[in-house]
Structure 1
Amino acid sequence: MSRSFAAPLDAVDQVQRSADGITATKRIVATDPYLEGHYPGFPIYPGVFTLESVYQAARQAVQAGRGPHVRVELAAVRSVRFKAPLLPGDVLTVDCRLTDDPDDRGRVRAVADCRRGDGTASAKVTLELRVLRETTGA
């Protein structure tokens, strides 16, 4: 059986605004299906999912700040550095600073520091987001 889509991944459990951006959390659950094969006997939250956690949190914050008529897309992954694994039982915390591109109001830079629940740095991520106004067909 073939699917033309992938089931959406809930890569954040909670997003809260902070003074200079957002803080999001994601609980890493041992029974989540993506952990079974990554890696057998030593499950690790996939690095690409850490990127997705940052993207989903930043997207929610930008949409909340700019209103319901915007669409936020990933434009570029500027940098990623993985520092420590996220294991079942860990809680990923994403502290993300959002800044508008001064030359292009349609771009937002998201710089995220990711940590495990024990405070250990797990990743540093910088994304560039494209903000598009959605038009309604009337």
Structure 2
Amino acid sequence: MPAASPLRSAVEVLPAEGGPSVAARFTVADTETVLPGHYPGFPIFPGVCLVECARQGAQATLPAGAKGASLTAVESTRFTGPVFPGDRVDIAMEWKRTPAGDWQCRAKLTTGRGPAAGVRLRYALPAADREAAA
């Protein structure tokens, strides 16, 4: 079953330039369904939607060794600046393997005004795939 999402639009994955870093972006359209109730008269894109932007970007850019992995934890979030309708959210993601054999994605989300959020996600392979990769 696909994950439910509060986003009406999709996150756009940008071409990879090599290395452990990948990027994506999301433009907050005025038609996003979460906006009317989130501070009526002064809409702000909710933080949970920024986490979802990071999740969609991460899911679309899983490293080769992490194919088939699923999200097991939102390890941390830090919201550092507001995101408004019309803003383009740039998402810089870096993947690394953890000592436990999981995969961690660190996402930094920014707008034209500066940092908006930092999100750290953990992905794990199914048990059978983990044993084969070890």
TM-score (ref. length: structure 2): 0.79
For structure 2, the residue ranges without an aligned partner over 5 or more in a row are 130-134
Report the Cα distance in structure 2 between the residues aligned to 1:128 and 1:7, rounded to whole angstroms: 18
Residue identity matched to 1:79 = S
Kept in 2: contact 1:94–1:112 (CA 8 A): yes
Alignment partner, residue 128 of structure 1: 122
**Structure 1 residue 93 and structure 2 residue 90: aligned?**
yes
Alignment partner, residue 33 of structure 1: 33
Deviation, structure 1 residue 13 = 2.5
Deviation, structure 1 residue 113 = 1.1
Alignment partner, residue 12 of structure 1: 11
Kept in 2: contact 1:11–1:49 (CA 8 A): no
Cα distance per residue 1:5-31 (max 9 Å; x no partner): 956744413333243221100000112
Which of 100, 115, 123 lines up with 1:103 in the alignment? 100
Structure 1 residues 36 and 8: CA distance shift in structure 2, 3 A: closer
Structure 1 residues 16 and 119: CA distance shift in structure 2, 3 A: farther
Deviation, structure 1 residue 65 = 2.5
Report the Cα distance in structure 2 between the residues aligned to 1:7 and 1:21, rounded to whole angstroms: 24
Report the Cα distance in structure 1 between the residues aligned to 2:55 and 2:125, rounded to whole angstroms: 13
Q: How many residues align?
A: 123
Alignment partner, residue 64 of structure 2: 65
Structure 1 residues 55 and 6: CA distance shift in structure 2, 3 A: closer
TM-score (ref. length: structure 1): 0.77
Report the Cα distance in structure 1 between the residues aligned to 2:96 and 2:5, rounded to whole angstroms: 30
Report the Cα distance in structure 1 between the residues aligned to 2:76 and 2:116, rounded to whole angstroms: 14
Cα distance per residue 1:66-95 (max 9 Å; x no partner): 58xx43322111111100011011000110
Report the Cα distance in structure 2 between the residues aligned to 1:38 and 1:47, rounded to whole angstroms: 11
Report the Cα distance in structure 2 between the residues aligned to 1:109 and 1:55, rounded to whole angstroms: 12
Structure 1 residues 86 and 22: CA distance shift in structure 2, 3 A: same
Alignment partner, residue 55 of structure 1: 55
Report the Cα distance in structure 2 between the residues aligned to 1:6 and 1:53, rounded to whole angstroms: 12
